[in-house]
Amino acid sequence: MAALQHKILLDESQLPTQWYNVVPDLPEPPPPPLHPGTLQPVGPDDLAPLFPEALIAQEVTGERYVDIPGEVLDVYRLWRPAPLYRAHRLEKALGTPARIYYKYEGVSPAGSHKPNTAVPQAFYNAQAGIRKLTTETGAGQWGTALAFAGALFDLDVEIWQVGASYDQKPYRRTMMEVFGARVHRSPSDLTDAGRGIRAEDPQHPGSLGIAISEAVEVAAADPGTRYALGSVLNHVLLHQTVIGEEALLQLAAVEEKPDVVVGCTGGGSNFGGLVFPILREKLAGRMSPTIRAVEPASCPSLTRGVYAYDFGDTAGMTPLMKMHTLGHDFVPDPIHAGGLRYHGMSPLLSHVHELGLLEALALPQTECFAAAVQFARTEGIVPAPEPTHALAACIREALACRESGEEKVILTALCGHGHLDLGAYDAYLSGRMADEAVTDERLAPALAGLPPVPAGS
Ligand SMILES: *Cc1c(COP(=O)(O)O)cnc(C)c1O
């Protein structure tokens, strides 16, 4: 019997040494972020209280490639290159002629793709003489990644965790604390943004938008503190492109090209990281995959949001970004995929969607957990709740291939493991997980609260 090749591994010497910026390869540049007061494009000075110069430069760079600093590569080598797996047993269970590959990011110290950007963000802040970083976290994966990176570069890390996740996932807080971070339940009494919300509802479940407001408020008030964002922004997606660059090398090693690339989208960073290098190949005519983003039906920014200028946070302290948004006041149902509960979508991915270069689909969480359980029982990895969405979409595609007989190559990012999300699996397995149907009436108030920006912007 021929041995099954499950893992496609790269040598350390094949670790990418540059991040890829998709912007210069797009047919049109994305619309700029605007200052909420003047409605003029924001300049570096507007961002300087929040981010170090090197990251601001990466946010707006027109260069196609950005060198990865040696100090960052040294940390990446703790777990990168990450494995690409062929899902032989899942394929067999589905009876599909499709070949399914998943890039596994759960091998990182934080158990997700988030350290790919946490490490360079901590590095550039430390290099600029910053002593402390603030941030938000939803499910806790980003907070864990930044706490880890802060520990390596000697930075204090203070984290506002979305209340619903803080209550549901105490071990995530412990993990952040093990790495040395301080963690607050958001909304908190430590900021104007948090106090305002708690005055109206002391038991408020929180949202990523609220937690961002709190972290930004604290960073903006202290010259020795900066803010770090785990998704959405261009420099974050830039750092994540190591995922797609490695996956391309790994697929080439087994002489495959993807026909379908699917990933889950919260703020868009694991998806952008997987997809942008592949989009480069597609735009250059070297491959022609369908590219598909999958989001939760309970927080459907790409499929049911509007493409408009909106704030990145709830209190309205960030620049206005043109993106697919449900409105910055939208508070999603506390579904278990905490990392996908963001009202907006990366402006760069939103722009790519507007250009017609990617499809989007929203899935209910019970279908996603059914897929994850099938995946765990065949492949042996318990996925984080977020990539269960990508897996459910892979399974839909693979079953369509069973009907049509097409031998498609399906590629996805399994962007994290779910070892600290077993409560969600318990809810699913015991029949306590429900699918929330989000009505148009429920979406309307937050959409009505979008900031007024003149037409044509
Ligand atoms: C944070 C997170 C997400 C969502 O964020 P993106 O920026 O959309 O990738 C998805 N999966 C995992 C495992 C995460 O930690």
Nearest ligand 1 atom, CA 145: 15
pLDDT digits (tens, 9 = 90+) for 124-168: 999 999 999 999 998 899 999 999 999 999 999 999 999 988 998
> Is the beta carbon of 264 within 6 A of some atom in ligand 1?
yes
What is the reported pLDDT for 436? 82
Topology of domain 7-15+67-111+235-439, CATH: Rossmann fold (3.40.50)
What is the reported pLDDT for 209? 87
Instruction: Please tell me the distance between residue 356's alpha carbon and the centre of ligand 1 in angstroms.
Output: 23
Q: Which tokens belong to 376?
A: 């765990």
Cβ atoms < 10 Å from Cβ of 219: 23
Q: 186 pairs with which residues across the strands?
A: 162
CA distance 197 to 315: 10
What is the reported pLDDT for 337? 67
Is 262 a residue whose pLDDT tops 80?
yes
pLDDT digits (tens, 9 = 90+) for 212-225: 999 999 999 999 99
What is the reported pLDDT for 169? 83
> Is the beta carbon of 384 within 6 A of some atom in ligand 1?
yes
Is 334 a residue whose pLDDT tops 80?
no
> Is the beta carbon of 106 within 6 A of some atom in ligand 1?
no
3-state secondary structure of 100: strand
- Domain ranges in the chain are 7-15+67-111+235-439
Instruction: Please tell me the distance between residue 341's alpha carbon and the centre of ligand 1 in angstroms.
Output: 10
Nearest ligand 1 atom, CA 340: 4
What is the reported pLDDT for 335? 67
What does the DSSP assignment read for 260-295? EEEEE-SSSHHHHHHHHHHHHHHHTTS---EEEEEE
Instruction: Please tell me the distance between residue 387's alpha carbon and the centre of ligand 1 in angstroms.
Output: 8
> Is the beta carbon of 21 within 6 A of some atom in ligand 1?
no
Tokens 């983003």 correspond to 293
CA distance 433 to 338: 14
pLDDT, the chain, mean: 95
What is the reported pLDDT for 437? 79
Q: pTM for this one?
A: 0.97
> Is the beta carbon of 265 within 6 A of some atom in ligand 1?
yes
Cβ atoms < 10 Å from Cβ of 196: 14
Residue nearest to atom 1 of ligand 1 (CA): 339
Q: Give burial (CB, 10 Å; 0-12/13-18/19+) of 107.
A: middle
Residue nearest to atom 14 of ligand 1 (CA): 339
Q: Which tokens belong to 152?
A: 């390596």
> Is the beta carbon of 237 within 6 A of some atom in ligand 1?
no
The Cα angle at residue 125 between residues 210 and 55, in degrees rounded to 5:
75
Q: Which element (helix H / strand E) includes 85?
A: strand 84-86
Q: Which tokens belong to 108?
A: 């990182």
- CA-to-CA separations, 289 to 96, 302, 372, 401, in angstroms, rounded: 19, 20, 24, 15
Q: 136 pairs with which residues across the strands?
A: 160
Nearest ligand 1 atom, CA 112: 13
| Cβ-Cβ contacts under 8 Å for 399 (sequence gap 6 or more) | 94, 96
What is the reported pLDDT for 313? 86
Is 457 a residue whose pLDDT tops 80?
no
> What is the distance, to the nearest Å, from the Cα of residue 146 to the centroid of all Cα atoms in its chain?
14
Instruction: Please tell me the distance between residue 138's alpha carbon and the centre of ligand 1 in angstroms.
Output: 10
3-state secondary structure of 190: coil
| 8 A C-beta contact, residue 95 and residue 403 | no
For residues 17-34, average pLDDT: 97
Residue nearest to atom 10 of ligand 1 (CA): 386
Is 208 a residue whose pLDDT tops 80?
yes
Nearest ligand 1 atom, CA 111: 13
Longest CA span, the chain: 69
pLDDT digits (tens, 9 = 90+) for 364-422: 999 999 999 999 999 999 999 999 999 999 999 999 999 999 999 999 999 999 999 99
Pocket test for ligand 1, best of 144, 270, 340, 419 (most atoms within 8 A of CB): 270
Is 1 a residue whose pLDDT tops 80?
no
Instruction: Please tell me the distance between residue 1's alpha carbon and the centre of ligand 1 in angstroms.
Output: 39
- What burial letters (b/e) apply to 166-188, b meaning 16+ CB within 10 Å? bebbeebbebbeebebebbbbbb
Cβ atoms < 10 Å from Cβ of 375: 26
> Is the beta carbon of 145 within 6 A of some atom in ligand 1?
no
Q: Give burial (CB, 10 Å; 0-12/13-18/19+) of 304.
A: middle
Smallest CA-to-CA distance from 376 within 409, 337, 421 is with 421
Tokens 């209550």 correspond to 167
- CA-to-CA separations, 40 to 21, 31, 225, 321, 453, in angstroms, rounded: 24, 12, 26, 12, 11
For residue 120, the 8-state DSSP code is H
Instruction: Please tell me the distance between residue 263's alpha carbon and the centre of ligand 1 in angstroms.
Output: 10
pLDDT digits (tens, 9 = 90+) for 104-130: 999 999 999 999 999 999 999 999 999
Residue nearest to atom 7 of ligand 1 (CA): 269
> Is the beta carbon of 339 within 6 A of some atom in ligand 1?
yes
Is 259 a residue whose pLDDT tops 80?
yes
